[in-house]
Amino acid sequence: MTTLAAEAGSGGGAPAPRPPVALAVPRSLDEALALLAQDGAAVLGGGVGHTLARHHRAPDRPSTLVPVAGLPALAGVRTGPDGRITVGAATPLDDCAKAAAIARVWPVFTEACGSVATGRIRRLVTLGGNIAAHDDAHDPPVALTALGADLTVRAARGGSRTLSVPEALRPAADGGLRPGELLVAVTLPTRPRGAATGSAYRKYLVRGVWEYACVHVAAVVGLDGEGRATRLSLAVGSVEGGPVAVPLDGLLGGRFDADLVEEAARAAASGTRPYDDVKGSAAYKTRMIGEFSRRALTEAAHRARGTGHHAGGDR
């Protein structure tokens, strides 16, 4: 850390050393929620704190840290009786990327989880931590936005709520994740019967590995027997208010061809507001959002038709 500005206030007296921070290890989810309901408590685990600190959004000197990554209730990938896949919030991203059950159904999620940082980091950070860190440059939330996944959050008081990714990432006052609430699970939708569905995640990296993307796009495409689009979902990350779901309902029912892809890509480019940073100017990123939307949609449609050349091509 380098302190660029002296931020200390003035005033006499010996400055107090920082008070020690307590580490309270819960044995159960209920215990964790009870601890988190107390003033000054903050979640530890899954890389949340690290990311928040990077964005200077860390809680102001928490007095108690509550590690949650080891809770059995938050672990693992399960397929429910209704066929929906639920991923515990403490599941490491590497496990998400390696879950065959997910890859068979939603390769967009597999690819997003597998594209995060490096293997060492993917083995450490969790899905819940990745989402709760509230970083529009993160990959899994983009895929989950395109999929329309359900997030289950719980608090000691008030039971549980179900939110979409964009809802969860709103300010608490607008219905987003509230202090004391813990993201416990992510539930993926089932694939609709009777329609060919494919999905794909495309990420544009300057260096090719271990970096935040210049642009990243998730696409889900459903096609009927005539090749018409029955589902078109496109989500874009690293843009203002991201991840942003691009509204494409106007294109539904149309034939999925190059013109439709072009229109969807144009909608993605014009409907999102990237920002200037070291990865590129906003003007360039807008052009790349169009390009990578094209690529993601095209690959998703390939997979829907069962002609994809990547793992996960299916029907």
Question: Contact positions toward another protein, by CB under 8 A?
Answer: 1-8, 10-11, 13-15, 17-18, 54, 204, 206-212, 276-278, 280-281, 283-284, 287-288, 291
In the complex with another protein, the residue whose CB is nearer, 1 or 173, is: 1
Strands 244-246, 215-223: pairing is: unpaired
How far is the C-alpha of 220 from the C-alpha of 37, rounded, in Å?
38
In the complex with another protein, the residue whose CB is nearer, 10 or 309, is: 10
How far is the C-alpha of 164 from the C-alpha of 148, rounded, in Å?
7
* Nearest one of 295, 267, 280 to 214, comparing CA atoms: 280
In the complex with another protein, the residue whose CB is nearer, 39 or 60, is: 60
Compute the least distance from the CB of residue 286 to another protein, in Å. Answer: 12
Instruction: Supply φ then ψ for residue 46, to 5 degrees.
Output: 75, 5
In the complex with another protein, the residue whose CB is nearer, 195 or 275, is: 275
In the complex with another protein, the residue whose CB is nearer, 6 or 173, is: 6
Return the DSSP state at 161: E
Token representation of residue 186: 């992510």
Amino acid identity for residue 198 in this structure: G
Compute the least distance from the CB of residue 113 to another protein, in Å. Answer: 19
Return the DSSP state at 60: S
Amino acid identity for residue 49 in this structure: G
Compute the least distance from the CB of residue 201 to another protein, in Å. Answer: 17
Cβ distance 131 to 232 under 8 Å?
no
Compute the least distance from the CB of residue 312 to another protein, in Å. Answer: 23
Compute the least distance from the CB of residue 85 to another protein, in Å. Answer: 31
Token representation of residue 83: 């066929």
